[in-house]
Chains A and B, each alone.
Chain A
Amino acid sequence: MAVRTIEVRERVMARNDALAAQVRARLAEHDIAAFNLVSSPGAGKTMLLERTLAELGEELDIAVITGDVQTQNDADRLAVHTSRLVSAVVTGGACHLDALQIMTALDAIDLDHTRLLFIENVGNLVCPANWDLGEASKVVLFSVTEGEDKPLKYPSMFQRSSQAVMTKTDLLAHVPFDIDLAMKNARHVNPDLEFFQLSGLKGDGMESWFEFLRASVRAAGSVV
């Protein structure tokens, strides 16, 4: 037999990245700020969004796309706090969302009346790191019930995020968690990270998060 070689040299993520660029352009066309929330399971993404929707949902015309391996429980929880569509993507086993899923989900969202989009990714600190979804930035959450060394164990996710939200701070009095050490570890892998410390349950620290979101919407071209 004659075996011949075909040179390819094509990036595996090239197609996803091209689709993500299309998502980004579509969002920019509508002056929409978009954030991709990533974390391990149970870090508080849905709780943060519940609080955010309740407080800013109408003010900032927030839309949400939620990703879960199974069930649309998160979308159902969030729908209680907004009259707007919460789009659920059930990945059916996949451990992350991809740009094609976001492109498809955008079709169901009224983009003309949206100024802020949250993508709640599948709870996983490894897989979603590689996938550009067309967001303005990734926001990584980690809770005080996790180890301070999470950023060192999962550096890729922290390196590819622009903001870090430390959640469940109401539990700080009950768990041996050194928040300064956690921030130091996170800065070690990404010196440019912007930090927020808050409790979605109690509401502590939410105002600086809300101000960040308002500023992001303004920067995306909308008038608040």
Chain B
Amino acid sequence: MHEMSMALEIGRIAEEKLGERSPQLVTVAVDVGDDAGVEPANLEFCLEAVFAVPPFTGARPAILRCAGDVLRVAYLEVDDGCPDD
């Protein structure tokens, strides 16, 4: 299933955005269009598998359904270890 290829690519994008600082990744939100050619439940399953190992351990996927053929990493939520304001 191609969702695993896409999950791996989402992981690569997340890792690239995090950079070398490597804050704790909490959430990876992905926009998935109705016509994106992706089965959202399959993608979520694959992302959970990708996030089960470092450097993503503990992260969870958030699938954001939308219209069209959009398939993109929307945002990351990270815990950078700093205390709350």
Contact = CB atoms under 8 A, between A and B. Distances in A.
Interface residues of B, number: 31
B49 interface: no
A8 B13 contact: yes
Contact of A130 (B4, B14, B37, B80): B37
B63 interface: no
Interface of B is mostly: mixed
Given A95-B1, A127-B2, A156-B37, A11 B72 contact: yes
B78 A4 contact: yes
Contact of A96 (B2, B17, B81): B2
A8 B82 contact: no
Contacts of B79: 1-3
A10 B31 CA distance: 10
Nearest to B25: A6
Given A12-B30, A95-B1, A127-B1, A6 B76 contact: yes
Most A-side CB within 10 Å, residue of B2, B12, B35, B72: B2
Contacts of B2: 94-96, 126-127, 130-131
A8 B80 contact: no
A224 interface: no
B37 A9 contact: no
A102 to B, nearest CB: 14
Contacts of A96: 2, 5
Interface string B54-85: 00000000000000000111111111111111
Contacts of B35: 156
A124 to B, nearest CB: 8
A16 to B, nearest CB: 7
Interface string B1-44: 11011100110111001000000001000100001011000000
A117 interface: no
A2 B73 contact: no
Nearest to A1: B79
Contact of A7 (B1, B6, B75, B84): B75
A98 interface: yes
A158 to B, nearest CB: 12
Contact of B74 (A2, A9, A13, A15): A9
A199 to B, nearest CB: 31
Given A3-B26, A12-B30, A13-B6, 14 more contacts: A2-B85, A4-B80, A6-B76, A6-B77, A6-B78, A7-B74, A7-B75, A10-B72, A11-B71, A15-B9, A95-B2, A126-B2, A129-B37, A130-B38
Interface of A: 1-13, 15-16, 94-96, 98, 126-127, 129-131, 156
